[in-house]
Chains A and B, each alone.
Chain A
Amino acid sequence: MIVSAPLLQAIDVRKSYGAVVALHGASISAEAGKVNCLLGDNGAGKSTFIQILSGVETPDSGTVLMSGEPVTFRNPKAALDRGIATVFQDLAIVPIMPVFRNFFLGNEPTKGHGPFRRFDTKRAIEMTLSELDNIGIRLSNPRRPISTLSGGERQCVAIARAIHFGAKVLILDEPTSALGVKQAEIVLKYLVEVCRRGVAVILVTHNPQHAYAVGDSFTIVKQGESSAQWLKSEITLTELVMEMAGGADFKRLSSFPRAVGAPAAHAQA
């Protein structure tokens, strides 16, 4: 077995905004071909963490490594050029635009020269159709606005687009949070599929059920600090939920007196 450095690794990353400390010591490592889950409640620092990983923000201290080599990203483009693609919650799609125009937005294939250089719509449509066909979305008319796709399908299109343009590390910000059970399933299935192609996925979510269903490793961010990174064999879903909900705090909460008249159990710190 060859041991190699993880594709993307962040060690003890810290970030403050003025007096507000958003992150004090967060670490994660994302292995190729694995779904690495980043869990945490709203406001725990997940967003800041992925913004650092995707080049939107720069950390105050700490290291980000790609295949063991330290890197700094000045902007999202720099991260993208290194193969780190982030699919944010708004998916960066234009709802009213046709699917194929969305797929190639900002990366339009062209043909012709000089003033007659033009958007090769024919090729764009063909590539879009085949890419979507690969993930089981069959479009009758690629000129239809992307808003006619379901939520899960749109999420899949955004992921397929990132993969098509060469993502090696894929950061997904709450891809299932706005979706129903069935739509979430479509996305999670596709996520596993993407992983099998050797992409390192960082799945950011506050839903431990979704994370545990597809995840290979789990990191919890709580009040700006990350937990250990457990492998799936090291933790059960119940334990994961407990850890997320606050571990010791949660135990204390569940030992509260249930029945009226029961002896008061004093909370011990």
Chain B
Amino acid sequence: MTATQATGNRPGLGTPQGFQGRLRGRRVIGDILQRPETTAIVGTVVVFIYFAIAAGSNGFLSLTATQNYLAVAAELAILAAPVSLLLIAGEFDLSLGAAIGATGIATVYPVVAFGAPLWLGLLVGLAIGCLIGAFNGLLVAFSGIPSFLVTLASMFMLEGLTLVVTKSVTGQTHISGIAARVKNEFTYALFAGKPLAIPVSVYWAVAIVAVCAWLLQKTKFGNWIYASGGNPQAARRVGVPVKRVKIILFIMTSAAAATMALLSTLTVDQAQVTRGTGMEFEAAVAAVIGGGLIGGGFGSPIGAGIGALLFGLVSQGFYFTDIDSNWFRAFLGAMLLIAVAINQYARTVSARNRG
């Protein structure tokens, strides 16, 4: 009797007018600002329009230029999407760049040295990538050492190891001549060339960004990613396996590094130990411009993908203008700062406790 009595009646608790009484227009703008991707989209459009006007006549709008910046953006987006998930879960991977070098060499060495098929090389590269990710993830999850330090250490270890091993085995710091051996393989077609005049890496980037976005928004695991970064204690209390979530994300990130390493290797037909140097920061920049909060709990793989596109536009666009292309890095740093400031402001304003 008590139960039925209760369901029918609605006690006038709360302060409904507190929610309804706000100005509708301000709320709509607030909700748009609240989207993590907004800053990256606006920035990309502005930068594109700028280069189209300033360098359109110099070939910025040509097919080749478009292919160029799309290829740069795509390789970065493949990394930035899983990095944004990792960031949302509250962790950071500095060893990503070193993992690109290591997995790139690991992928092509069996092909060049033993004549292995490319798919086998790719499996080796992916396996090495997963091992690196598992190492980082397990150490972060069970030691309690901040991921910044764990992955900084693994970055140095991995860089050194890759260099020593590669030099001792091949006598050089790079391996070339891959394409000639695997040109007719199906796997090669999946990772090289420009189907429909679009670099193959763009297809990979779109697919990986889409999978990451789907994971985050539409799955249980995605809810756990948000919670693992937003409030790990609370997440643990309601039964979210926070450690497992983080380990999986570290593995995903390193596996993405292996994928990107192969694409990049086949583009220039050479695997280099130092290929990924600095890319851990570029991926983080894209993820943060794309709405990711360094503290975790918020971000977007789609935003990270758009952030990568912005990076590609800026890095290639200056070549078509009279401006010294070295301005690129300074410009990028400023962009990062602006994006962070806007995102921070949007978070504090629209997430403010209105009680």
> Interface on A for B, CB 8 Å cutoff?
33, 76-77, 88, 90-97, 101, 104-108, 110, 117-119, 121, 133-141, 144-145, 147-153, 156, 183, 186, 189-190, 193, 196-198
Contact = CB atoms under 8 A, between A and B. Distances in A.
A190 B13 CA distance: 7
A147 B353 contact: yes
A106 B239 contact: yes
Interface residues of B, number: 47
The 6 closest A-B pairs by CB, nearest first: A150-B355, A106-B238, A94-B230, A136-B13, A106-B239, A94-B231
Contacts of B233: 90, 92
Given A96-B230, A133-B10, 8 more contacts: A93-B231, A95-B351, A101-B226, A106-B239, A106-B240, A107-B239, A150-B353, A198-B2
Given A92-B237, A96-B230, A138 B16 contact: yes
Contacts, number: 143
A138 B20 contact: yes
A119 B223 contact: yes
Main secondary structure of the interface of A (DSSP, over half): loop
Contacts of B239: 77, 106-107
A151 B355 contact: yes
Nearest to B297: A96
Given A106-B239, A190-B11, A119 B219 contact: yes
A107 B238 CA distance: 8
A197 B222 contact: no
Contacts of A92: 233-234, 237-238
A197 B270 CA distance: 70
6 contacts: A101-B223, A105-B238, A136-B13, A138-B14, A150-B353, A198-B3
Nearest to B214: A118
B6 A193 contact: yes
B185 interface: no
B11 A76 contact: no
Contacts of B14: 135-138, 150, 152-153, 156, 186
Contacts of A110: 220
Interface string B1-27: 011011100111111101110000001
Contacts of A108: 220, 223
Nearest to A86: B237
